[in-house]
Amino acid sequence: MRAVASVALASLIIVVAFGLTGCVAHPTATPTSQTPTAATVEGRSTSTPVPTTLTCEDAFPGGGSVPDARNSSPTPVRSRPPHAAGLSSEGWAGSPSSFHFPVDSASAGIAFTGADGTTYGGWKAPITIGPKTAARRVELLSPPNAALVVASAQRWASGGALAGFTARTTGPYTLSSCLDRPATFPSEILVAGPACVDLRVTNAATGESGDVHVPMYGGTCT
């Protein structure tokens, strides 16, 4: 009986020791994180990546845009706004003729400072996609020192949409439609000098595309 008890006790000690060993903390693996977009605006820094895929929930409520005092200069009202491959924007008609470089006053344009310290001139150009439309991708083709920013209405309202953009680091963006109404997404075109900004819109379902050319800050499109 003593021998049996000794064997049982030894087995119990081994089991307990094994259990304690299993409770030893192991190093926690560092999860792979998304590479953030570093940014600096007016002395503030942010590392929040800007989403490039936007859905109906990200659009302005009700299918329209909200007034923006920065775009106070009059622009011609067209029967049909400039469009390409299923997307349209009144802002694609270009910035007002009074906008120019240097952007040293409110009448000269809307000045932004990029993360690299470059001064840009901006122009608000909300983008609209019709209801029940296949997703579209919009991207900047040229010039290399321009930027296209498209964001959700919520991010736009918070002021975070233009936080620390840099040229050529924005987009392409994929925009999805709503079922029952047009979807309009906040957007801004920014240039570092007079330019014709070339944008390309692609139908995500068919691959068909179209280009739009936006004259900015005294630039001309031919």
Q: pLDDT (tens digit, 9 = 90+) per residue, 63-73? A: 554 444 444 44
CA gap 21, 61 in Å, rounded: 57
Specify the pLDDT at position 47: 38
CA gap 176, 27 in Å, rounded: 42
Token pair in block for residue 197 = 């900004």
For residue 22, pLDDT beyond 80: no
Confidence of residue 168 (pLDDT cuts 50, 70, 90): low
Asked if residues 127 and 171 have their Cβ atoms less than 8 Å apart, the reply is no
SS (H, E, C) 14-28: HHHHHHHHHCCCCCC
Torsion of CA 206, 210, 214, 220, to 10 degrees: 160
For residue 130, pLDDT beyond 80: yes
Token pair in block for residue 78 = 């067209």
Confidence of residue 170 (pLDDT cuts 50, 70, 90): low
Specify the pLDDT at position 154: 92
Confidence of residue 19 (pLDDT cuts 50, 70, 90): very low
User: What's the helix, strand, coil split of the chain in %, to 5?
Assistant: 20, 30, 50
Domain extent listing, the chain: 51-216
Q: What is the pLDDT of residues 202-222, one digit of tens each?
A: 999 999 999 999 999 999 998
Token pair in block for residue 117 = 């310290």
Asked if residues 197 and 189 have their Cβ atoms less than 8 Å apart, the reply is yes
For residue 158, pLDDT beyond 70: yes
Specify the pLDDT at position 195: 97
Sign of the alpha-carbon dihedral angle for 51, 163, 111, 69: positive
> What is the chain's mean pLDDT, rounded?
76
Asked if residues 100 and 107 have their Cβ atoms less than 8 Å apart, the reply is no
Q: Is 208 helix (H, G, I), strand (E, B) or coil?
A: coil
Q: Please, which residues bridge with residue 119 across strands? A: 113
Specify the pLDDT at position 12: 36
Asked if residues 164 and 115 have their Cβ atoms less than 8 Å apart, the reply is yes
For residue 167, pLDDT beyond 70: no
pLDDT, greater one: 38 or 136: 136
Token pair 């296949």 in the structure block, residue: 134
Taking alpha carbons only, the member of 85, 50, 71 closest to residue 202 is 85
- Give mean pLDDT, residues 131-156: 94
Q: Is 157 helix (H, G, I), strand (E, B) or coil?
A: helix
Specify the pairing of strand 173-175 against strand 53-54.
parallel
Torsion of CA 181, 69, 58, 144, to 10 degrees: 110
- Give mean pLDDT, residues 138-158: 92
Specify the pairing of strand 119-124 against strand 110-113.
antiparallel
Specify the pLDDT at position 27: 31
